[in-house]
C-alpha cells in the first residue's frame, strides 16, 4: 500500500477494500475515521444533511463480524459512502430539498441503495441537493447552502453539490449523485473530482416513495452515477451501482467491459461551439486534455457533431415540457418563491411544448440527433468536450437575474445534449485555473463507460488528483 495517506478518511475506496479484506484494518476503524471527519468539516461545508453515525458504526461492526466468521466480503467491503437526498433509503426521509417533503419516509430502498449496501458499503450520510434537484448551486430552504471546499464564494455545483463537496473533503470514499442535465458532472467540475453520468439504462433507477412515475423524457435523460476522488473508484462504484433491478424497465444488461481496444488511437475534440464562447478556464481545460492525450500517443482531431446549441435547446424544451406537467404543480404548492421564479425564467428561455404535433416532431428530431452522434462516434470513439462553457460559477449566480440564468443554462448545452442523447460522459479534472478546478467531459458511445473512464484515467495520471485546501 505504498504511498497511501496515513489519514484513513482520505483513503480511496480501492485502498479501503484492500485493507479491510486483507485484515489490515477493520471496517469499524474506517467508519470511525470518516464519521470523525464528517464531525470535523461538515459544520463548515453543510454537505451532509443527515449524519448516520450510529447506524454506520453498527453496520461496520456487523461487516467485521461476518468477515471474522469467514463470510465472503463484497466488492465495497467497508467502503464509506453517501447517498443524495432525492433517492430512497428504507426508513429515512427523501426531502429533495423541500420542507414539504420532510415527512416522506422511504418504504424501501432504491435500486442503487440496495446495490451499494449489498456490496458491503457503509452508509455514513445523506447529501444536500437544491429544491427539486434542478439548480446548479446547492441551496434550499430546508438545509441551507452547501459550500465548496475550494472556496466559500464558488458554487459547489448542483444538483449533486452535497455529494461533490462531501467527497472532495473526505466525507466518504464514493458519493452517489444523479444527472438529468449535468447534476453529477457539474459538481465534479466545481469540486475537482471525477464522476460519471452513465448511459441511459446502465444503472437501475426507481424511487419507491414517489407519488407518480417520472415522465418519459425525464427518464430518457436522467442517470444515476458515482463521484469519487479517483477514476478507479468511479469505475468501482459504477460497477456496483449497475447491478440488475427489475423495478427499472429501462435497465439494460449491457457488459461493463466493451470489446478492445478500450483506449482508441483516435479521439475527437470539440474545441469551439458557434454561439457559445468559451471562458478562458474552459479553453485551457480542453487544451490541457488535448496535450495530455497527444503526449500519450493518441491522435486528437476535431469532430463534427450535430449543432450543440440546437440540441441543447431541443433537450431543454422536451425536459421543460415534462416538468410543466409533473413538477410545476408541486412547485406551486411546496416550492419557494425563488425556485418558482427560477422555473418561470427557464420556461421563458425554452418554452414547454403545448402542441401535440410539435411534441411528436421534436421527439423524432431527437432520434435524428442520436443517429448522427452515434455515426460520429463510430469514426472517433471518444470525444473531449467542455461541460459548462462559462466555467465554474459563483454561489447563487443562477439566482441573479433572467439574463444571467439564461446565459448559465445555455452554457450547459454541451452537458444537456449528452443527457438527451443518452450517452455516457465522465468528468475528468484537468488541473487548476486561477486556483480553482477545471475539467472536461469525456463522451463515448452507448454503454462504453469503460472508454470514458480509460481516457479520464490517462488525464488523471498526467495532471494528478486535485486536493482542495480543506483536505490537505
Q: What is the pLDDT of residues 114-162, one digit of tens each?
A: 999 999 999 999 999 999 999 999 999 999 999 999 999 999 999 999 9
- The string of DSSP codes covering 6-69 is SSGGG--HHHHHHHHHHTSS-HHHHHHHHHHHHHHHHHHH--EEEE-HHHHHHHHHHHHHHHHT
Domain boundaries, the chain: 8-471
Establish whether 84 is a catalytic residue. Answer: yes
Q: What value does the CA radius of gyration of the chain take, rounded to a whole number of Å?
A: 21
User: 205 pLDDT band (50/70/90 cuts)?
Assistant: very high
Q: What is the pLDDT of residue 3?
A: 79
Asked if 297 contacts 264 with a C-beta cutoff of 8 angstroms, the reply is no
Among the listed residues 307, 303, 229, the one whose alpha carbon sits nearest the alpha carbon of residue 264? 303
Q: Looking at the predicted structure, is the pLDDT value of residue 192 above 60?
A: yes
pTM: 0.98
Out of 110, 155, 160, 183, the active site residue is: 183
- Backbone φ and ψ of 93, nearest 5°: -75, 155
For range 196-204, the mean pLDDT: 98
Give me the phi and psi of 433, to 5 degrees please: -130, 120
Confidence of residue 37 (pLDDT cuts 50, 70, 90): very high
Q: What is the mean pLDDT of residues 246-261?
A: 94
Summarize the confidence of residues 307-312 as an average pLDDT: 98
Residue 101 to residue 105: CA distance in whole angstroms: 9
Which superfamily does 8-471 belong to? Amidase signature (AS) domain (3.90.1300.10)
Tell me how far apart the terminal alpha carbons of the chain are, to the nearest angstrom.
20
Q: Which of 28, 110, 155, 159 is catalytic?
A: 159
How many angstroms separate the CA atoms of 125 and 34, rounded?
10
110 in catalytic set: no
Distance CA 388, CA 393 (A): 9
Percent residues over pLDDT 70 in the chain: 100
Q: Which of 28, 84, 160, 188 is catalytic?
A: 84
Question: What is the pLDDT at residue 1?
Answer: 40
Place of cell 441537493: 129
Q: Which of 200, 189, 191 is nearest to 224 (CA)?
A: 200
Closest CA to 29 of 122, 111, 132, 115: 122
Handedness of CA 442, 446, 449, 455 (dihedral sign): negative
pLDDT of residue 403: 98
Q: Looking at residue 28, what is its pLDDT?
A: 98
Mean pLDDT throughout 30-40?
98
Q: Which helix (H) or strand (E) holds 213?
A: none
Question: pLDDT tens-digit profile of 50-85?
Answer: 999 999 999 999 999 999 999 999 999 999 999 999
Please list, residue by residue across 297-329, b when 16 or more beta carbons sit within 10 angstroms of its beta carbon and e when fewer do. ebebeebebbbbbebbbbbbbbbbbbbbeebbe
Respond yes or no: is residue 44 known to be catalytic.
no
Which three-class secondary structure string do you get for 74-130? CCCCCCEEEEECCCCCCCCECCCCCHHHCCCECCCCCHHHHHHHHCCCEEEEEECCC
Amino acid at each position: 500500500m505504498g504511498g497511501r495517506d496515513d489519514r484513513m478518511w482520505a483513503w480511496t475506496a480501492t485502498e479501503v477494500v484492500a485493507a479491510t479484506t486483507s485484515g489490515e484494518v477493520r471496517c469499524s476503524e474506517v467508519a470511525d475515521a470518516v464519521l470523525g471527519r464528517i464531525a470535523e468539516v461538515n459544520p463548515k461545508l453543510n454537505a451532509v444533511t443527515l449524519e448516520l453515525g450510529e447506524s454506520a458504526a453498527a453496520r461496520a461492526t456487523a461487516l467485521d463480524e461476518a468477515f471474522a466468521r469467514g463470510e465472503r466480503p463484497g466488492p465495497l467491503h467497508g467502503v464509506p459512502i453517501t447517498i443524495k437526498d432525492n433517492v430512497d433509503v428504507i426508513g429515512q426521509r427523501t426531502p429533495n430539498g423541500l420542507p414539504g417533503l420532510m415527512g416522506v419516509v422511504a418504504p424501501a430502498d432504491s435500486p442503487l441503495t440496495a446495490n451499494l449496501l449489498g456490496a458491503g458499503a457503509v452508509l455514513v450520510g445523506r447529501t444536500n441537493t437544491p429544491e427539486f434537484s434542478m439548480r446548479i448551486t446547492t441551496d434550499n430552504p430546508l438545509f441551507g447552502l452547501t459550500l465548496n471546499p475550494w472556496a466559500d464564494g464558488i458554487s459547489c455545483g448542483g444538483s449533486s453539490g452535497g455529494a461533490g463537496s462531501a467527497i472532495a473533503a473526505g466525507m466518504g470514499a464514493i458519493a452517489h449523485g444523479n444527472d438529468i442535465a449535468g447534476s453529477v458532472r457539474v459538481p465534479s467540475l466545481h469540486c475537482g473530482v471525477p464522476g460519471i453520468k452513465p448511459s441511459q439504462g446502465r444503472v437501475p433507477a426507481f424511487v419507491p416513495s414517489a407519488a407518480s412515475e417520472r415522465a418519459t423524457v425525464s427518464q430518457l435523460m436522467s442517470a444515476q452515477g458515482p463521484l469519487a476522488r479517483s477514476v478507479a473508484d468511479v469505475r468501482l462504484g459504477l460497477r456496483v451501482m449497475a447491478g440488475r433491478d427489475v423495478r427499472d424497465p429501462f435497465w439494460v444488461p449491457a457488459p461493463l467491459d466493451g470489446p478492445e481496444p478500450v483506449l482508441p488511437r483516435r479521439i475527437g475534440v470539440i474545441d469551439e461551439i458557434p454561439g457559445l464562447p468559451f471562458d478562458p478556464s474552459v479553453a485551457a481545460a480542453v487544451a490541457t486534455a488535448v496535450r495530455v492525450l497527444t503526449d500519450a500517443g493518441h491522435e486528437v482531431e476535431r469532430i463534427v457533431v450535430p449543432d450543440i446549441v440546437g440540441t441543447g435547446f431541443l433537450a431543454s424544451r422536451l425536459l421543460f415540457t415534462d416538468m410543466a406537467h409533473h413538477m410545476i404543480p408541486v412547485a406551486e404548492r411546496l416550492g419557494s418563491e425563488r425556485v418558482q421564479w427560477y422555473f418561470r425564467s427557464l420556461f421563458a428561455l425554452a418554452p414547454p411544448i403545448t402542441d401535440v404535433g410539435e411534441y411528436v416532431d421534436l421527439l423524432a428530431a431527437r432520434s435524428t440527433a442520436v443517429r448522427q452522434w452515434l455515426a460520429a462516434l463510430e469514426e472517433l470513439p471518444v470525444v473531449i468536450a467542455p461541460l459548462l462553457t462559462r466555467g465554474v460559477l459563483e454561489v447563487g449566480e443562477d439566482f441573479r437575474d433572467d439574463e444571467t440564468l439564461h446565459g448559465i443554462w445555455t452554457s450547459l448545452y454541451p452537458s444537456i445534449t449528452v443527457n438527451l442523447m443518452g450517452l455516457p460522459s465522465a468528468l475528468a479534472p484537468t488541473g487548476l485555473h486561477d486556483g480553482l478546478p477545471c475539467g472536461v467531459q469525456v463522451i463515448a458511445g452507448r454503454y462504453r463507460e469503460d472508454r470514458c473512464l480509460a481516457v479520464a484515467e490517462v488525464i488523471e495520471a498526467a495532471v494528478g488528483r486535485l486536493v482542495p485546501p480543506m483536505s490537505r
